[in-house]
Protein backbone atom coordinates (compact mmCIF):
# COMPACT_ATOMS: atom_id res chain seq x y z
CA UNK A 1 0.00 0.00 0.00
CA UNK A 2 1.34 3.37 -0.94
CA UNK A 3 -0.71 6.24 0.42
CA UNK A 4 1.60 8.99 -0.70
CA UNK A 5 -0.03 9.10 -4.15
CA UNK A 6 -3.69 8.62 -3.21
CA UNK A 7 -4.87 11.46 -1.04
CA UNK A 8 -8.50 12.16 -1.90
CA UNK A 9 -10.71 11.84 1.17
CA UNK A 10 -7.69 11.38 3.47
CA UNK A 11 -7.42 14.57 5.55
CA UNK A 12 -3.95 13.89 6.96
CA UNK A 13 -2.31 12.43 3.85
CA UNK A 14 1.13 13.52 2.71
CA UNK A 15 -0.11 15.73 -0.13
CA UNK A 16 -2.21 17.80 2.27
CA UNK A 17 0.46 18.16 4.95
CA UNK A 18 2.68 21.26 5.15
CA UNK A 19 6.24 20.47 4.13
CA UNK A 20 9.07 20.97 6.59
CA UNK A 21 12.73 20.13 6.40
CA UNK A 22 13.54 16.65 7.76
CA UNK A 23 14.97 16.11 11.20
CA UNK A 24 17.29 13.21 10.48
CA UNK A 25 17.90 11.93 14.00
CA UNK A 26 14.24 12.32 14.94
CA UNK A 27 13.12 10.39 11.88
CA UNK A 28 15.66 7.70 12.62
CA UNK A 29 14.35 6.52 15.95
CA UNK A 30 10.68 6.94 15.08
CA UNK A 31 11.16 5.10 11.79
CA UNK A 32 12.59 2.04 13.54
CA UNK A 33 9.12 1.29 14.85
CA UNK A 34 7.63 1.18 11.38
CA UNK A 35 10.37 -0.13 9.26
CA UNK A 36 11.91 3.02 7.84
CA UNK A 37 15.19 4.64 8.75
CA UNK A 38 16.54 8.00 7.63
CA UNK A 39 19.14 10.61 8.23
CA UNK A 40 22.49 10.60 9.90
CA UNK A 41 22.57 7.19 11.56
CA UNK A 42 21.44 4.92 8.70
CA UNK A 43 21.14 5.89 5.06
CA UNK A 44 18.68 4.52 2.56
CA UNK A 45 15.09 4.37 3.78
CA UNK A 46 13.92 0.78 4.06
CA UNK A 47 10.60 -0.96 4.60
CA UNK A 48 10.20 -4.31 6.32
CA UNK A 49 7.18 -6.55 6.51
CA UNK A 50 6.50 -6.30 2.78
CA UNK A 51 5.84 -9.61 1.09
CA UNK A 52 3.94 -10.80 -1.92
CA UNK A 53 0.27 -10.07 -1.43
CA UNK A 54 -1.64 -13.01 0.07
CA UNK A 55 -4.50 -14.58 -1.82
CA UNK A 56 -7.33 -12.83 -0.01
CA UNK A 57 -10.47 -10.98 -1.01
CA UNK A 58 -9.85 -7.58 -2.58
CA UNK A 59 -10.97 -4.89 -0.11
CA UNK A 60 -13.92 -2.74 -1.01
CA UNK A 61 -14.83 0.75 0.07
CA UNK A 62 -15.41 1.08 3.83
CA UNK A 63 -18.85 -0.02 4.95
CA UNK A 64 -19.78 -2.07 1.88
CA UNK A 65 -19.23 -5.53 3.35
CA UNK A 66 -19.56 -5.12 7.10
CA UNK A 67 -23.34 -4.78 7.12
CA UNK A 68 -23.65 -1.82 9.51
CA UNK A 69 -22.05 1.42 10.65
CA UNK A 70 -18.64 0.55 12.12
CA UNK A 71 -18.98 3.23 14.77
CA UNK A 72 -21.83 1.21 16.30
CA UNK A 73 -19.89 -2.05 16.38
CA UNK A 74 -17.74 -3.43 19.15
CA UNK A 75 -14.01 -3.61 18.50
CA UNK A 76 -13.99 -7.01 20.14
CA UNK A 77 -15.73 -8.60 23.12
CA UNK A 78 -12.99 -11.15 23.68
CA UNK A 79 -9.99 -8.83 23.94
CA UNK A 80 -7.11 -10.24 25.96
CA UNK A 81 -3.35 -9.78 25.97
CA UNK A 82 -0.73 -12.00 24.39
CA UNK A 83 2.86 -11.10 25.28
CA UNK A 84 1.53 -7.71 26.38
CA UNK A 85 -0.33 -6.96 23.13
CA UNK A 86 -4.16 -6.85 23.04
CA UNK A 87 -5.59 -9.50 20.69
CA UNK A 88 -9.04 -10.88 19.94
CA UNK A 89 -10.63 -8.25 17.69
CA UNK A 90 -13.97 -8.36 15.95
CA UNK A 91 -14.08 -9.02 12.20
CA UNK A 92 -15.44 -5.52 11.59
CA UNK A 93 -14.16 -2.09 10.62
CA UNK A 94 -14.17 -1.11 14.29
CA UNK A 95 -12.13 -4.19 15.12
CA UNK A 96 -9.59 -3.44 12.39
CA UNK A 97 -9.27 0.17 13.54
CA UNK A 98 -8.72 -0.89 17.16
CA UNK A 99 -6.16 -3.49 16.09
CA UNK A 100 -4.07 -0.98 14.12
CA UNK A 101 -4.22 1.57 16.96
CA UNK A 102 -3.16 -0.98 19.55
CA UNK A 103 -0.43 -2.44 17.36
CA UNK A 104 1.01 1.07 16.99
CA UNK A 105 0.89 1.58 20.76
CA UNK A 106 2.58 -1.76 21.39
CA UNK A 107 5.58 -0.63 19.33
CA UNK A 108 5.66 2.87 20.84
CA UNK A 109 7.64 2.06 23.96
CA UNK A 110 11.26 2.39 24.97
CA UNK A 111 11.37 -1.32 25.77
CA UNK A 112 10.37 -2.24 22.22
CA UNK A 113 13.41 -0.40 20.86
CA UNK A 114 15.92 -1.31 23.55
CA UNK A 115 15.05 -4.92 24.40
CA UNK A 116 15.39 -7.51 21.64
CA UNK A 117 13.24 -10.15 23.38
CA UNK A 118 10.37 -7.71 23.79
CA UNK A 119 10.68 -6.59 20.18
CA UNK A 120 10.53 -10.17 18.92
CA UNK A 121 7.53 -11.10 21.08
CA UNK A 122 5.51 -8.03 20.10
CA UNK A 123 6.36 -8.35 16.40
CA UNK A 124 5.41 -12.03 16.35
CA UNK A 125 2.00 -11.14 17.77
CA UNK A 126 1.09 -8.20 15.57
CA UNK A 127 2.45 -9.38 12.19
CA UNK A 128 0.93 -11.94 9.86
CA UNK A 129 3.02 -15.15 9.61
CA UNK A 130 4.37 -14.33 6.16
CA UNK A 131 5.65 -10.93 7.33
CA UNK A 132 7.34 -11.75 10.65
CA UNK A 133 10.77 -12.93 9.47
CA UNK A 134 11.62 -10.02 7.18
CA UNK A 135 10.30 -7.42 9.60
CA UNK A 136 12.34 -8.80 12.49
CA UNK A 137 15.47 -8.95 10.35
CA UNK A 138 15.17 -5.30 9.36
CA UNK A 139 14.08 -4.10 12.80
CA UNK A 140 16.95 -5.86 14.57
CA UNK A 141 19.60 -4.52 12.20
CA UNK A 142 18.34 -0.97 12.33
CA UNK A 143 17.43 -0.87 16.01
CA UNK A 144 20.74 -2.22 17.27
CA UNK A 145 22.63 0.30 15.14
CA UNK A 146 20.47 3.20 16.30
CA UNK A 147 20.57 2.25 19.98
CA UNK A 148 24.34 1.94 19.75
CA UNK A 149 24.63 5.42 18.23
CA UNK A 150 22.45 6.85 20.99
CA UNK A 151 24.20 4.89 23.73
CA UNK A 152 21.02 3.09 24.84
CA UNK A 153 21.44 -0.13 26.80
CA UNK A 154 18.99 -3.06 26.96
CA UNK A 155 17.27 -1.51 29.98
CA UNK A 156 16.25 1.51 27.88
CA UNK A 157 18.74 3.91 29.47
CA UNK A 158 22.20 5.24 28.78
CA UNK A 159 25.17 4.31 30.95
CA UNK A 160 24.55 7.56 32.85
CA UNK A 161 20.92 6.59 33.50
CA UNK A 162 19.23 8.89 30.99
CA UNK A 163 16.04 7.20 29.73
CA UNK A 164 14.96 6.74 26.14
CA UNK A 165 11.57 8.38 25.53
CA UNK A 166 9.42 6.74 22.86
CA UNK A 167 5.75 7.73 23.09
CA UNK A 168 3.16 7.95 20.35
CA UNK A 169 -0.49 8.88 20.59
CA UNK A 170 -3.03 8.14 17.86
CA UNK A 171 -4.94 11.36 17.19
CA UNK A 172 -7.23 9.95 14.50
CA UNK A 173 -7.81 6.68 12.67
CA UNK A 174 -9.77 5.80 9.56
CA UNK A 175 -10.49 2.61 7.67
CA UNK A 176 -9.84 3.30 3.98
CA UNK A 177 -10.89 -0.12 2.66
CA UNK A 178 -12.49 -3.17 4.20
CA UNK A 179 -13.49 -6.72 3.42
CA UNK A 180 -13.94 -9.73 5.66
CA UNK A 181 -10.34 -10.80 4.94
CA UNK A 182 -8.37 -7.60 4.34
CA UNK A 183 -8.48 -4.05 5.70
CA UNK A 184 -6.40 -0.91 5.35
CA UNK A 185 -6.21 1.59 8.20
CA UNK A 186 -4.54 4.98 8.40
CA UNK A 187 -3.45 6.46 11.74
CA UNK A 188 -2.48 10.06 12.38
CA UNK A 189 -0.10 10.18 15.33
CA UNK A 190 1.88 12.59 17.46
CA UNK A 191 5.14 11.36 18.95
CA UNK A 192 7.85 12.40 21.37
CA UNK A 193 11.09 10.52 20.84
CA UNK A 194 14.59 11.02 22.15
CA UNK A 195 16.96 10.63 25.08
CA UNK A 196 16.25 12.68 28.21
CA UNK A 197 19.73 14.09 28.57
CA UNK A 198 21.15 17.52 27.80
CA UNK A 199 24.10 15.97 25.94
CA UNK A 200 22.03 13.59 23.81
CA UNK A 201 22.41 13.47 20.04
CA UNK A 202 18.62 13.24 19.96
CA UNK A 203 16.87 15.24 22.72
CA UNK A 204 13.11 14.54 23.12
CA UNK A 205 11.59 15.88 19.91
CA UNK A 206 8.03 16.00 18.60
CA UNK A 207 6.96 14.48 15.30
CA UNK A 208 3.66 14.02 13.44
CA UNK A 209 3.20 11.05 11.12
CA UNK A 210 0.72 8.98 9.18
CA UNK A 211 1.03 5.22 9.67
CA UNK A 212 -0.49 2.98 7.01
CA UNK A 213 -1.55 -0.52 8.09
CA UNK A 214 -2.63 -3.38 5.87
CA UNK A 215 -4.33 -5.99 8.04
CA UNK A 216 -5.26 -9.57 7.18
CA UNK A 217 -7.69 -11.84 9.02
CA UNK A 218 -5.56 -14.74 10.27
CA UNK A 219 -6.73 -17.57 12.52
CA UNK A 220 -9.61 -15.57 13.94
CA UNK A 221 -7.89 -12.22 14.42
CA UNK A 222 -6.46 -9.20 12.61
CA UNK A 223 -2.71 -9.25 11.92
CA UNK A 224 -0.52 -6.71 10.10
CA UNK A 225 0.81 -7.61 6.66
CA UNK A 226 2.59 -4.30 6.04
CA UNK A 227 3.20 -1.13 8.05
CA UNK A 228 4.49 1.98 6.30
CA UNK A 229 4.99 5.61 7.22
CA UNK A 230 4.25 8.85 5.40
CA UNK A 231 3.94 12.52 6.30
CA UNK A 232 1.04 13.49 8.53
CA UNK A 233 -0.64 16.81 9.30
CA UNK A 234 1.75 19.15 11.10
CA UNK A 235 -0.03 21.80 13.20
CA UNK A 236 1.27 25.29 13.86
CA UNK A 237 3.82 25.36 16.67
CA UNK A 238 2.79 27.03 19.92
CA UNK A 239 4.56 30.04 21.36
CA UNK A 240 5.86 27.98 24.27
CA UNK A 241 9.56 27.25 24.62
CA UNK A 242 10.81 23.65 24.41
CA UNK A 243 11.42 21.98 27.76
CA UNK A 244 14.93 21.00 28.75
CA UNK A 245 15.88 17.38 27.92
CA UNK A 246 16.42 16.59 31.60
CA UNK A 247 12.82 17.54 32.40
CA UNK A 248 11.69 14.43 30.51
CA UNK A 249 13.47 12.04 32.87
CA UNK A 250 10.31 11.42 34.88
CA UNK A 251 8.66 10.03 31.75
CA UNK A 252 11.34 7.36 31.43
CA UNK A 253 10.18 3.76 31.22
CA UNK A 254 6.79 2.51 30.12
CA UNK A 255 4.95 2.06 33.42
CA UNK A 256 3.02 5.33 33.12
CA UNK A 257 2.24 5.03 29.41
CA UNK A 258 -1.45 5.51 28.48
CA UNK A 259 -3.68 2.43 28.16
CA UNK A 260 -4.49 0.71 24.91
CA UNK A 261 -7.46 1.75 22.80
CA UNK A 262 -10.65 -0.24 23.11
Residue 46 burial by Cβ neighbours in a 10 Å radius (0-12, 13-18, 19+): middle
Distance of CA 5 to CAs 106, 231, 233, 262, Å? 28, 12, 16, 31
> What is the reported pLDDT for 76?
66
Cut 0.85: pTM above it: no
Report residue 246: phi and psi, to 5°.
-65, -20
DSSP string, 182-249: EEEEEEEEEEEEEESSTT-SS--EEEEEEEEEEEEEETTEEEEEEEEEEE---PPPPSSPPPPGGGGG
Distance CA 230, CA 14 (A): 6
> What is the reported pLDDT for 116?
96
Helices (H), 115-188: 116-126, 129-150
> What is the reported pLDDT for 26?
41
Please check whether residue 79 is in contact with residue 101, taking contact to mean a CB–CB distance below 8 angstroms. no
> What is the reported pLDDT for 39?
32
Please check whether residue 224 is in contact with residue 104, taking contact to mean a CB–CB distance below 8 angstroms. no
> What is the reported pLDDT for 61?
53
> What is the reported pLDDT for 262?
67
For the chain, 262 residues long, give each residue's pLDDT as a single digit of tens: 333 334 444 555 545 444 444 454 444 444 443 333 333 232 222 233 343 333 344 454 555 444 444 443 467 668 999 999 999 999 999 999 999 999 999 999 999 999 999 999 999 999 999 999 999 999 999 999 999 999 999 999 999 999 999 999 999 999 999 999 999 999 999 999 999 999 899 999 999 999 999 999 999 999 999 999 998 899 988 878 889 998 988 877 777 777 887 6
> What is the reported pLDDT for 74?
64
Amino acid sequence: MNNDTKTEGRPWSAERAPRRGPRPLTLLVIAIVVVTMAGLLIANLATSGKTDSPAVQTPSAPGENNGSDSTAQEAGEGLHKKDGVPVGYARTEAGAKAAASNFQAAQSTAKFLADKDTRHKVTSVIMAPESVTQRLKTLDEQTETAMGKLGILQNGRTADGAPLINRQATLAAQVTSFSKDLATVELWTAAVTGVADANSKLPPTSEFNQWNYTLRWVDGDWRAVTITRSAGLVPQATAGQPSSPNSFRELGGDADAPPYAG
